[in-house]
Amino acid sequence: MLYKAVILIGGPQKGTRFRPLSLEFPKPLFPVAGFPIIHHHIEACSKVPDLLEILVIGFYQPSEALNRFLTSSQRESNINIRYLQEYTSLGTAGGLYHFRDQILSGQPDGFFVFNGDLCCKFPLAEMLEFHNQRTNGQHFTLLATEAPKSQSLNYGCLVKDPETHEVLHYVEKPQTFVSSIINCGLYLFTPEIFEHISTVFKENQAEIFNGDSFSSNRDTIRLEQDIFSPLAGTGKLFVYNCEDLMWSQIKSAGSAIYANRLYLGLYHDTHPERLAKNDENGPHIVGDVFIHATARVDATATLGPNVTIGAGVIIGPGVRVRESIILEGASLQDHCCILHSIVGWNSVVGAWSRVEGTPKGPNPNDKFAKMDSDNLFDDHGKLTPSITILGSNVSIPAEVIILNAIILPDKEIRGTFKNQILL
């Protein structure tokens, strides 16, 4: 059997909750646990036997960063990887439909579709096995997991037949409780999916020509609302339910810190060589830490748990970092302290300064709890306490405190700064 994989990465207008980190850099390339978010998808795909190619679909303009990433991923994974650009946001199903000829070229028997903002222990082999157990030919499989009742409302919820695992009912972000089984944003389709998308496409076009709709998003077709809801109960859509799956969405910067923790934890099984170890000449390592080979870390610094240090970062004596991501080219000067924060590309934190955010994570007492991706502001327009984010090229002087703050790129801070956004 031959398969392909499609990764949906959205475009510049998406990922708004990830600002300011997505202002200058496409969110799918943001490094989590030392590698761009979609590198983890590609790595999972490279373990699927007979994968014909990976298609990355989005509406970002091709950039040097994206091209460089795709070329190096192709080299490392030894799989053909192509970027296909939508002319506008066509929706999660519209993009697939637009590029259906490319997806079907080479005649794959099926293809995986990944949401680009997933953090997951991608169970692709298990999904394939589940999918191929059903012998009725053309059917589709979606990956699901369990969420607490209250949080399920933030996701696509589905009801399944306990025996056959057929999806009987699907509602995207329901108003009231439907089910605690939620859509993870990873699917295995057969080519027949295009017949279902085509029906919706033709209905939309007919509406335009009948003059019924002047809606600006008439090109948009969404997998969740437009395809899965009507497919439920027709014997075509099945769910591979992985109750205790390691899974999160990466919507906000806070959820990137959480995803960083999850992927670092996963490295114990998948890539133990990526985790820093304590040795006589190196810094003190606590728990899971990734240090890029080109970073220079003083032996008296203490890092961890759940810390990622990017390429070319310089960390001075006595520095303490925990639950944080330090991006490429940043410099942490002597004895500064970074907690629950993201330090942007080429930013500098002065000596003895403290950069601190509010710890965020799912309820540790509920094994199904998910990471909430809050908006930056609450209903009253107040900044929600979250991790601290320093945009790129930010300069923090010595001996100040930056607490629960978001600093936009290229700012030079003069003093202590708390619970604010610096625009």
Question: Which residues lie near ligand GTP (CB under 6 A)?
Answer: 8-10, 14, 57-59, 86, 89-92, 95, 115-117, 185, 249, 251
Minimum CB separation from ligand GTP for residue 395, in Å?
A: 32
Residue number, 10 or 329, with CB nearest to ligand GTP: 10
Minimum CB separation from ligand GTP for residue 92, in Å?
A: 5
Residue 361 tokens, joined? 């994570």
The backbone torsions φ and ψ at residue 104, rounded to the nearest 5 degrees and listed phi first, read -85, -10
Residue in the shown chain whose Cβ atom is closest to ligand GTP:
10
Angle between helix 193-209 and helix 91-98 axes, rounded to 10 deg: 100
| Pairs from 346-349 (Cβ < 8 Å, separation ≥ 24) | 346/392, 346/393, 347/390, 347/391, 347/392, 347/393, 347/394, 347/395, 347/396, 348/394, 348/395, 348/396, 349/390, 349/396
Structure-token match 């410099």, residue found: 331
Report d(CA 129, CA 144) in Å as an integer.
Answer: 15
Q: Are 44 and 124 in contact (CB under 8 A)?
A: yes
Residue 385 DSSP code:
P
Minimum CB separation from ligand GTP for residue 383, in Å?
A: 20
Residue number, 115 or 341, with CB nearest to ligand GTP: 115
The bridge status of strand 156-160 relative to strand 167-172 is antiparallel
Residue number, 95 or 316, with CB nearest to ligand GTP: 95
Q: Are 99 and 53 in contact (CB under 8 A)?
A: no
Residue number, 115 or 306, with CB nearest to ligand GTP: 115
Residue number, 119 or 348, with CB nearest to ligand GTP: 119
Report d(CA 332, CA 51) in Å as an integer.
Answer: 43
Residue number, 249 or 404, with CB nearest to ligand GTP: 249
Minimum CB separation from ligand GTP for residue 117, in Å?
A: 4
Minimum CB separation from ligand GTP for residue 408, in Å?
A: 22
Residue number, 8 or 390, with CB nearest to ligand GTP: 8
Minimum CB separation from ligand GTP for residue 384, in Å?
A: 16
Minimum CB separation from ligand GTP for residue 142, in Å?
A: 13
